[in-house]
């Protein structure tokens, strides 16, 4: 194609568009921090925690340095360690299982459902059984709300209650999503989220938060966040981390949270347009009744008789349309995690999804003409 006629490449996630929209309000927020110079534990951190509590409905919010730290801090505060098993889905970002391994506990990987991409309840039960057979003590389950959609929290809670496990919800991709009309952040013992820039609610660096209704846990998390500090500054009462959210990121997040509901609506408009145009051609994602997704990713599966995933991605790339594969390997297939136990019967759905999924550009500012380009490129690549 003639270079002059070639259209601009489409952004997979357009962080510039939101920056343009927020413009001066972000500049002012950063300016205020530069004026007061309380870069650690500034007033914006407490303000953000209270704004997030209000938004989610959780009683306590502890801001922290990343989504990974958010997960790890809960396991540390609950004294999860060697001899314990923590059950997690294998089809997820590596941080979910990584934090378990970091505590010295054993991650036990279980399978997911092929429509929701989230934890499969029968496999969860089989994972608990596998842990017990190995002489491990099942302590917790970390369901993941993958790609923006909530896991089936009622079903998970029933299994966890029967087995005496606590639930740590990994909502790194799904803050703002609802389950049966209620926002994530209030299911299980605690919920972890991430403010990595590409997440639905992202900051301008790394950041995260933990949500809980348990006051004692919230206190322990505030201690873990700063080296396990106790009431006396130099008498640390537990082993902790340096896992604070810095004031600058909190100031930015306060402004971004103000437009987040509006962005969630916009993301759902984009998702609906994709669904209408593509659901006859590919396996399009479906949101369970009663759930609202925040569409961290728009992840499709290609028809078996089509061009194959690599050729499909190459055809879109040639049209300036980026795609991404989340995740080409499930956790139990990765070098660092292969030796950990899995649910009996293996994880065939995770393995199949890793071969079939591909994600299309998705963000709140994907306008209709640009999205039509993506849709046309998909149709062309599939010969439709």
Q: Is 169 in the site for ligand PLP (CB under 6 A)?
A: no
Q: Is 371 in the site for ligand PLP (CB under 6 A)?
A: no
Residue 79's nearest CA partner among 245, 237, 242, 244 is 237
Q: How far is the CB of 174 from ligand PLP (least distance, A)?
A: 8
Which residue in 45, 85, 95, 203 binds ligand PLP (CB under 6 A)?
A: 95
Residue sitting closest to ligand PLP (CB): 67
Q: How far is the CB of 105 from ligand PLP (least distance, A)?
A: 17
Q: How far is the CB of 234 from ligand PLP (least distance, A)?
A: 29
Dihedral of CA 108/117/66/206: which sign?
positive
- Contacting range for ligand PLP; rule: CB under 6 A; set: 89-97, 114-122, 252-260, 354-362: 89-97
With beta carbons less than 8 A apart as the criterion, state whether 321 and 298 touch. no
Q: How is 248-297 classified by DSSP, letter by letter?
A: HHHHHHHHHHHTHHHHHHHHHHHHHHHHHHHTTTSB---PPTT-B---S-
Q: Is 170 in the site for ligand PLP (CB under 6 A)?
A: yes
User: Coil, strand, or helix at residue 85?
Assistant: strand
Residue 118's nearest CA partner among 88, 139, 138, 84 is 88
Query: Among residues 87 and 95, whose Cβ is nearest to ligand PLP?
Result: 95
Instruction: For the segment 43-82, give every residue that binds ligand PLP (CB under 6 A).
Output: 66-68
Which residue in 75, 86, 144, 362 binds ligand PLP (CB under 6 A)?
A: 144
Residue 142's nearest CA partner among 182, 181, 112, 180 is 112
Q: Is 143 in the site for ligand PLP (CB under 6 A)?
A: no
What does the DSSP 8-state code read for residue 331? G
Instruction: For the segment 340-369, give every residue that binds ligand PLP (CB under 6 A).
Output: none
Residue 169's nearest CA partner among 153, 182, 183, 158 is 153
Q: Is 97 in the site for ligand PLP (CB under 6 A)?
A: no
User: Coil, strand, or helix at residue 63?
Assistant: strand
Supply the Cα-derived Rg of the chain in whole angstroms: 21
Instruction: For the segment 207-236, give every residue that binds ligand PLP (CB under 6 A).
Output: 208
Separation CA 288–CA 274 (nearest Å): 17
Q: How far is the CB of 146 from ligand PLP (least distance, A)?
A: 7
With beta carbons less than 8 A apart as the criterion, state whether 67 and 40 touch. no
Q: Is 176 in the site for ligand PLP (CB under 6 A)?
A: no
Q: Is 323 in the site for ligand PLP (CB under 6 A)?
A: no
Q: Residue 225 has which token pair?
A: 């966040």
Report CA 40 to chain centroid distance, whole Å. Answer: 25
Query: Among residues 178 and 236, whose Cβ is nearest to ligand PLP?
Result: 178
Query: Among residues 14 and 170, whose Cβ is nearest to ligand PLP?
Result: 170
What does the DSSP 8-state code read for residue 108? E
Backbone angles phi, psi at 170, to 5 degrees: -90, 95
Q: Is 120 in the site for ligand PLP (CB under 6 A)?
A: no
Q: Is 93 in the site for ligand PLP (CB under 6 A)?
A: yes
Q: How far is the CB of 379 from ligand PLP (least distance, A)?
A: 29
Length of the chain: 384
Instruction: For the segment 233-292, give every residue that binds ligand PLP (CB under 6 A).
Output: none
Query: Among residues 170 and 315, whose Cβ is nearest to ligand PLP?
Result: 170
- Contacting range for ligand PLP; rule: CB under 6 A; set: 167-175, 255-263, 315-323, 335-343: 167-175
Binding site for ligand PLP (CB under 6 A): 66-68, 92-93, 95-96, 144, 170, 172-173, 194, 196, 206, 208
């Amino acid at each position: 194609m003639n270079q002059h006629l070639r259209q601009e490449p489409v952004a997979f996630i357009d962080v510039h568009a939101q920056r343009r929209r927020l413009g001066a309000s972000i500049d002012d927020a950063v300016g205020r921090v530069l004026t007061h110079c309380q870069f650690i534990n500034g007033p914006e951190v407490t303000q953000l925690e209270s704004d997030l509590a209000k938004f989610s409905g959780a009683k306590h919010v502890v801001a922290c340095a990343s989504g990974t730290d958010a997960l790890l801090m809960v396991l540390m505060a609950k004294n999860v360690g060697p001899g314990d098993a923590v059950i997690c889905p294998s089809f997820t970002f590596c941080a979910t299982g990584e934090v378990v391994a970091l505590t010295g506990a054993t991650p036990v990987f279980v399978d997911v459902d092929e429509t929701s991409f989230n934890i499969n309840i029968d496999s969860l039960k089989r994972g608990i059984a596998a842990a017990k057979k190995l002489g491990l003590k099942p302590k917790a389950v970390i369901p993941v709300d993958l790609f923006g959609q909530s896991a089936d929290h009622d079903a998970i809670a029933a299994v966890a209650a029967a087995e005496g496990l606590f639930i740590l919800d990994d909502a790194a991709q799904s803050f703002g999503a609802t389950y049966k009309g209620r926002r994530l952040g209030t299911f299980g013992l605690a919920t972890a989220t991430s403010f990595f820039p590409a997440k639905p609610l992202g900051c301008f660096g790394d950041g995260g938060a933990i949500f809980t209704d348990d006051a004692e846990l919230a206190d322990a998390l505030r201690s873990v966040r700063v080296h396990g500090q106790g009431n006396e500054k130099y008498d640390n009462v537990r082993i902790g981390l340096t896992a604070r959210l810095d004031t600058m990121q909190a100031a930015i997040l306060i402004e971004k949270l103000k437009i987040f509901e509006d962005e969630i609506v916009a993301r759902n408009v984009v998702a609906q347009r994709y669904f209408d145009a593509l659901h006859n051609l590919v396996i399009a994602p479906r949101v369970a009744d009663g759930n609202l997704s925040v569409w961290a990713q728009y992840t499709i599966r290609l028809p078996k008789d089509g061009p194959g995933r690599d050729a499909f991605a190459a055809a879109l790339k040639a049209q300036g349309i980026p795609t991404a594969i989340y995740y080409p390997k499930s956790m139990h297939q990765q070098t660092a995690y292969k030796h950990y136990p899995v649910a009996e019967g293996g994880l065939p759905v995770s393995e199949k999804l890793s071969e079939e999924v591909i994600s299309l550009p998705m963000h709140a500012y994907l306008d209709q003409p640009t999205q039509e380009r993506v849709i046309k490129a998909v149709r062309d690549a599939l010969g439709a």
